[in-house]
Amino acid sequence: MGKRILVVGGDRRQTYLANRLKVLGSVETLAVPGHPDSAGEGVADLLILPCPSFDSRGLLRAGEGLSMSELLPRVGPKTVCFGGALSDKRELLPSVLQNTVDLLAEPVVAAENGRLTAEAAVTLTQLQTEDSLRGKGCLILGWGRIGKPLSRLLQAMGAKVTVAVRRREVQAEAEGLGLRALGLSEVSGPFDLVFNTVPTPVLTAGQVTGLGADCLWVELASAPGGLDPGEDSVRRLPAGGLPGKLTPKAAAEVLYQGIVRSVEV
């Protein structure tokens, strides 16, 4: 028997995901872009929250915001709840939900999202600069799920890539791939582009100034990001949540596959 699935809120990823989930059962939607509100009475087998699920107010990312308490009539102890960035928001979920899955913490989903973010970051940067990245001096701060695929992509496009990391063993890994790698304290500009993947400032004010007035700082990290709020010595390009903005169909497929791996169909 097919699942009863309730998809709530989110961005265009949820739009595509709601369509994709129809192969698993009956899909109802609430505050999903491009879908009518069709949530009926009764308990859902699967509850699909946005990724990330909550905003800074503790409300679901659904239109103007939706309280989790408003979904209580539609969940029960057997409901499996999928969402994103749930680990530090557990208190916002009702106790009746005993089975929750943080999709953004699932290793395969995280890796695929990193790859999509890297691709989208390149596209966004080219649209912003209206220029090729070949020959550009690019600094990547961080060597994680975004930094790794982004460095390889930029390298393949002919950019001059420098990676700045905290640990010596990570520096050696990047150097093994033919990249120039530095410790964070060794960063010295100028650079044409900086792609930041670290969610906190790691460069000194002097290092940021040394990047050059023409440098474009592409902020890929979550808040607060790598620049102090008042920093104006470089141009800043906010670039958070890129898969949901530029490649929502592919990003939805990544989430769908993560759901399927966790559910008995």
Per-residue pLDDT of the chain (265 residues; tens, 9 = 90+): 589 999 999 999 999 999 999 999 999 999 999 999 999 889 999 999 999 999 989 999 998 889 999 999 999 999 999 999 998 788 889 888 989 999 999 999 999 999 999 999 999 999 999 999 999 999 999 999 999 999 999 999 999 999 999 888 888 889 998 899 999 999 998 999 999 999 999 999 999 999 999 999 999 998 889 998 888 899 999 999 999 999 999 999 999 999 999 986 5
Residue with tokens 């990330």: 52
Query: Does residue 185 sit in the same domain as residue 161?
Result: yes
Q: Which residue, among 13, 80, 33, has the nearest Cα to 247 in the 3D structure?
A: 13
Query: Does residue 91 sit in the same domain as residue 123?
Result: no
Q: Which residue, among 153, 28, 130, 144, has the nearest Cα to 79 in the 3D structure?
A: 28
Distance of CA 53 to the CA centre of its chain: 12
Which residue type does 200 have? T
Residue with tokens 């903005």: 245
- Of 105, 121, 138, the residue at which a domain comes to its end is 105
CATH number for position 51: 3.40.50.720
Counting every residue written for the chain, the total comes to 265
Query: Does residue 129 sit in the same domain as residue 234?
Result: yes
User: pTM of the full predicted structure?
Assistant: 0.90
Residues 95 and 114 sit within 8 Å (Cβ to Cβ):
no
Query: Does residue 114 sit in the same domain as residue 240?
Result: yes
The C-alpha atoms of residue 98 and residue 134 are separated, in whole angstroms, by 51
Asked if the structure places residue 174 within a domain, the reply is yes
Query: Which residues, other chains included, contact 214 with Cβ-Cβ below 8 Å and sequence gap of 6+?
Result: 190, 192, 235
Q: Which range marks the domain in which residue 65 is found?
A: 3-105
* β-sheet bridge partners, residue 180: 162
Number of structural domains the chain divides into: 2
Query: Does residue 86 sit in the same domain as residue 204?
Result: no
